[in-house]
Chains A and B, each alone.
Chain A
Amino acid sequence: MVAPPAGSTTAAPRSGLPWDERHSKGLFHGFIETLQMVLSKPGAAFTVMRREGGLGEPLLFGLIGGSFGFIVYLIYNLAFQSLGMFANRNNPLTHLIGAGIGGIVLIVCAPLFVLIGIFIGSVILHLCLLLLGGAKQSFETTFRVVCFAGGSVNPLLVIPFCGGLIVGVWKIVLYCIGLARAHETDTGRAVLAVFLPLILCCGGVILCAMLFGGIGAMMHNWNP
């Protein structure tokens, strides 16, 4: 059989999230309890989250939360655009509506977008963890973190106007905590793995911001 990855620890078995008990609790209660736990106590949630057991169960959670959030986001966009708000040329939704693609088609396709997003997001995060030496567990562990973090935070897209910003920031925080706890790696590596794709694409922007911030701080200190 496949040997455990080098550096992995033989940790105590994990009790699992409420989602794993949905057959006894019911789908709705299992989902809500997991969502509440991940959002309010992410450290505890990702410490008890099982690291293996198949992709299907976490994927279902991620798909429910993600599709719900995405569909609400689409409905808000369609509603605001019909009122003439946020109808800018760079918004793909504006183009889709202009191309005669109805909101219904988009809503039907939402789970497909979420599904592909979960897999691609997980593989990017896992590659970054591997590059930084923080991947102490298999790909499945990273996949589970992405599913439970995304599935829990994406429903917050129901918050109008600032929902996207809240979800974006909160998701980054959940990924950092989730990867650190699930892979049992140091938080620094987990944070760097989450930010590595951003640094690779926007590294210069971050460096410039730090440089100008530093210069600004120094000039402030030099002023009498």
Chain B
Amino acid sequence: MRFYYRPLARDELNHELIWLAVSLGSLALAVAWFALRLPWPHCLFLAVTGHPCVTCGATRAAIAFFHLDFWSAWKWNPLVFAALCGLSIFDAYAFAVLVIRAPRLRVVQFTRSEKSFLRLIAVILLLSNWIYLLSRPRGLF
């Protein structure tokens, strides 16, 4: 796995611009959805089993996060909290490189064992998040 900085190539996707725009657009839609008090979809897994799924509490974690109540966001769903932290860092980086026209950070050349390790980490994170949510008091979600 190699990290390096280089200017955007001519035919290369401008990932920074694309994902900054998509995340801000999604945020704007979510804010509008809330402002209009539209109903959020209900979790089928929770409705049938009475237990939370891996993504349960994501909406409330996001609301707490954007109200800067990070502890509540973490408690609602640690994985969603971590994802929102990562997205915020990415957005700040993307905004900075687009404004100052800086070289782009790219991660390339993953070996087979690095890929397997990253997959294992992702599975462990998903499972531990789910175990944490299942350990929370019933009726919370």
Contacts and interface: CB of A to CB of B under 8 A. Distances in A.
Interface residues of A, number: 34
B45 A131 contact: no
Given A95-B39, A202-B45, A204-B49, A116 B18 contact: no
A120 B26 contact: yes
A205 B49 contact: yes
B106 A2 contact: yes
A90 interface: yes
A140 B22 contact: no
Contact of B112 (A6, A101, A139, A204): A6
Interface stretch (B51-59, B67-75, B94-102): B51-59
A169 interface: no
A96 interface: yes
B45 A201 contact: yes
Interface string A167-184: 000000000000000000
A139 B29 CA distance: 24
A154 to B, nearest CB: 19
Contacts of B92: none
B126 interface: yes
For the residues of A in contact with B, the DSSP-based class is: helix
B44 A205 contact: yes
Given A55-B18, A131-B119, A116 B36 contact: no
Contacts of A139: 13
A92 B37 CA distance: 9
Given A119-B18, A205-B45, A113 B29 contact: yes
25 contacts: A2-B108, A3-B109, A5-B110, A6-B112, A6-B115, A92-B33, A92-B39, A95-B37, A95-B39, A99-B36, A113-B29, A115-B25, A116-B26, A131-B123, A133-B115, A133-B119, A139-B13, A140-B13, A200-B53, A201-B44, A201-B55, A204-B48, A205-B44, A205-B48, A208-B49
Given A200-B126, A205-B45, 9 more contacts: A2-B108, A3-B109, A6-B110, A95-B37, A116-B26, A120-B26, A131-B122, A133-B119, A203-B53
Closest 7 CB pairs of A and B: A92-B38, A119-B22, A201-B53, A204-B49, A200-B54, A95-B38, A202-B45
